[in-house]
């Protein structure tokens, strides 16, 4: 619990402003993409000028000092592009398999809905020694972000942190990513 003002007499128990804004603009979709899943649709948040600005600013603060931000297909690179613009860095889109022309570097992994593969270009992007922050919209089990970190590390990058808009704490993704620092704007 925090307190407002100098006297400390008025308790304040509200969520941080960015987290409250995220919650107010997140659409809950039951049984999507499969039965039993409570999908967090952040499309209304990203379509809202104030919401997108708040998320971009908060993630840019986290990624400050990075040489490059990497966004995970597809909502992650939407947010990562805005963060990169704010920071004056480049952005690398980590794509689902089959979306990039060859040659590519690939990483196979298991996510909450089954096996998957992600890719980055194998040529013309020098990652060796670059400090990279991985950005995604939602952290669930951690499989996708862990695969992205492995892929970038294999390409020579130093992955310094992961940053997400929403973390689903019950799925223990943060623990799966340890010791990588994970920053969440909202935890549900």
112 is catalytic: yes
In the prediction, which pLDDT does 34 show?
87
| Per-residue confidence (pLDDT) for residue 16, from 0 to 100 | 63
Q: What is the pLDDT along the chain (188 residues), one digit of tens a residue?
A: 232 333 333 334 444 699 999 999 999 999 998 898 889 999 999 999 999 999 999 999 999 999 999 999 999 999 999 999 999 999 999 999 999 999 999 999 988 778 999 999 999 999 999 999 999 999 999 999 999 999 999 999 999 999 999 999 999 999 999 999 999 999 99
Long-range pairs for 149-155: beta carbons < 8 A, 24 or more residues apart? 149/177, 149/180, 150/107, 151/94, 151/105, 151/106, 151/107, 151/118, 151/119, 151/120, 152/70, 152/94, 152/120, 152/127, 154/105, 154/107, 155/105, 155/120, 155/127, 155/128
pLDDT at residue 37 in the model: 86
Is 158 tagged catalytic? no
What pLDDT shows up at residue 11? 38
* Total H helices, total E strands in the chain: 6, 11
Domains and CATH numbers, the chain: 15-187 (3.40.50.2020)
Instruction: Check 86, 111, 112, 131 and give the catalytic one.
Output: 112
Residue 23, CA distances (Å) to 18, 88, 160, 175 in order: 9, 28, 27, 23
Catalytic residue among 75, 95, 130, 174: 75
Cis peptide before 127 (omega within 30 of 0): no
The answer to whether 183 and 164 have CB atoms below 8 angstroms apart is: yes
pLDDT at 111: 80
Are 161 and 180 in contact by the 8 Å Cβ rule? The answer is: yes
């Amino acid at each position: 619990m925090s307190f407002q003002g100098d006297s400390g007499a008025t308790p304040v128990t509200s969520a941080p402003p960015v987290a409250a804004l995220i919650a107010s603009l997140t659409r809950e979709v039951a049984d999507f993409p499969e039965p039993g899943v409570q999908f967090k649709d952040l499309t209304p948040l990203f379509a809202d000028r104030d919401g997108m600005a708040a998320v971009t600013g908060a993630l840019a603060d986290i990624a400050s000092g990075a040489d490059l931000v990497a966004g995970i297909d597809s909502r992650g690179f939407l947010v990562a592009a805005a963060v990169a613009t704010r920071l004056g860095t480049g952005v690398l889109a980590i794509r689902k398999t089959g979306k990039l022309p060859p040659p590519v570097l690939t990483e196979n992994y298991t996510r909450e809905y089954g096996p998957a593969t992600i890719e980055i270009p194998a040529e013309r992007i020098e990652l060796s020694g670059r400090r990279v922050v991985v950005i995604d919209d939602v952290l669930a089990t951690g499989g996708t972000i862990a695969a992205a970190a492995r892929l970038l590390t294999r390409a020579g990058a130093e992955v310094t942190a992961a940053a997400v808009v929403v973390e689903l704490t019950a799925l223990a993704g943060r623990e799966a990513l340890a010791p990588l620092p994970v920053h969440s704007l909202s935890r549900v």
